[in-house]
Structure 1
Amino acid sequence: MSNHPQWLIPHWPGLPDNVGVLSTTRRGGVSPAPYDDGMGSGGLNLGSHVGDHALNVSRNRAIVREMLPEEPVWLSQVHGTVVADVAAVAPDTVPEADAALSTTPRKVCAIMTADCLPVLFADKQGKTVAAAHAGWRGLAAGVLENTVQAMRSSGAGAITAWMGPAIGQYQFEVGPDVRQAFLNGAFSPSDVRHVEAAFSTIEGKPGKYLADIYGLARYLLHRAGVAEVHGGEFCTVSNSGRFYSYRRDGVTGRQATLIWIK
């Protein structure tokens, strides 16, 4: 028997009235440990690839489906930069992509995460929406820029974005390869300064850095012409009672961040 679901409704000033958004937490499902809610009740794991029983995942997705106009188009996320148009996805198929876009009412874009950064997008006229999965690899490779470009190619004007729950800057310890991956994409002295500001050294750990994934995403979005960026106040690792975290727990579930045109 499931406990009551707890939704996270994004605080997103300027979001068009005809756009729906929702971010799930680990609370309110049927999955047992290690996919539970962290407090002795069932967890709302939505990932079918993490070892949870398929029936549990199906029941959890049904709980979320009650909040949505249609079943979301779930993606097979591979830390890449491909953007899928959800209206073009055939029924009962799972496209390999790390972002989803819609210009069609009721079609739901969905991203699953457990530390990676989910980013939602909407053009200010409410005609185009999108969602992107931005782990550090996809972020450095250009998944956010590809999503913005796909939206513009679909007729979007001014775009606003919201950053959902992800690993916080005081928990995301990385090596020099991650820092270098972002420096490789820095095209100007200003870019270099923004990248360097997102990585802080760790006392007693030479060659290790704390990375601010929210700061990196905000800089990349601004560089892509997205002036209004909201969210970025959560940490999945630090809040074990609310969010799944792969870095914290290893074997764990997945929460989802979703957007659609009503």
Structure 2
Amino acid sequence: MPALILPQWPQPETVRSCSSTRQGGVSLPPYASLNLGSHVSDLPEHVASNRQRLQQIASLPAAPHWLDQVHGTDVARLTQKTPHQTIRADAAYTDEPGVVCAAMSADCLPVLFCSRAGDEVAAAHAGWRGLNAGILENTLSAFRADPQDVMVWFGPAIGPQQFEVGAEVREAFMDNDAQAATAFTPFINSPSFDNNTSLVSNKYLADIYQLARLRLQAAGVRHFYGGDRCTVSEPASFFSYRRDGITGRLASLIWLI
């Protein structure tokens, strides 16, 4: 059966959450084995079986609302009446029990949100483009609760020792917040020479967890959890697009009971 990660955070009694690993499904390589993404050329019957296994082992009250994630900033507001059809958005919010919000990932950052009162939850998918464009702030703005009364859990994503980016990514974040510089470290293994006299790094290692934390702190969030796994360096547990190219998708889920 699927192996799940249970977030270590003080979620209220009315909230349930989990994140999948790649273990416990029926998909064949390169999607082995619990691939939950229907858009990666895996066999549809395998994806359907994996999703059913996840629903069973996680004791989900209903099938998750799967999103068509496009690295954008749209947030879907889900209710009991929302049809179970793919919605184009990169985050999902609900304040109704029995509605399962889900974010798929394979290196991008999945973020779970929950009000401390236990009456609102959300799941967001944050690649660097969506993160810089404001997907997390948009998700937070869906909450009635004050940002300081919202908790955040960071699911498994590409770690700060693996996320190599170009200078343009660093500059894009710094255009929005100069403090973002603290989340970038020059990547000394990827140098270029300037007139053959000085060594200049044009690549950086980015800490996507820190970038997300900075953005949410600026928006008023004070309670952060998770952010200690690396999809690239843990191949037995996680899918990674950066590592493998063709691969499956994980899911991070949250719901009210």
TM bin (shorter chain): over 0.9
Give the alignment partner of residue 3 of structure 2, picking from 3, 6, 14. 6
The percent of aligned pairs where both chains have the same amino acid is 51
- The CA distance in 2 between the partners of 1:82 and 1:89, in whole Å, is 19
- The CA distance in 2 between the partners of 1:178 and 1:151, in whole Å, is 29
Matches within 5 A, 1:28-177: 28-36=24-32, 43-66=33-56, 67=58, 68-87=60-79, 90-152=82-144, 158-177=149-168
Residues 76 and 88 of structure 1: CA distance in aligned 2, closer, same or farther (over 3 Å): farther
The 3-state SS of whatever aligns with 1:28 is: coil
Give the alignment partner of residue 211 of structure 2, picking from 213, 216, 232. 216
**Normalising by structure 2, what TM-score?**
0.92
Amino acid at match of 1:15: Q
Q: CA deviation at 1:147?
A: 0.5
CA RMSD in angstroms comes to 1.4
Give the alignment partner of residue 16 of structure 1, picking from 12, 15, 21. 12
- The CA distance in 1 between the partners of 2:66 and 2:87, in whole Å, is 8
Match of 2:173 in 1: 182
Q: CA deviation at 1:176?
A: 1.2
Match of 1:239 in 2: 234
Q: CA deviation at 1:150?
A: 1.0
Residues 177 and 88 of structure 1: CA distance in aligned 2, closer, same or farther (over 3 Å): farther
The 3-state SS of whatever aligns with 2:45 is: helix
Pair 1:198 & 2:193 matched: no
Deviation per CA, 1:155-205: give whole Å up to 9, x if none: 88710100000000000000011111111212xxxxx1x311100101142
- The CA distance in 1 between the partners of 2:121 and 2:109, in whole Å, is 17
The 3-state SS of whatever aligns with 1:70 is: coil
Amino acid at match of 1:74: W
Contact 2:68 2:87 in 1 (8 A): yes
Q: How many residues align?
A: 245
- The CA distance in 2 between the partners of 1:72 and 1:113, in whole Å, is 15
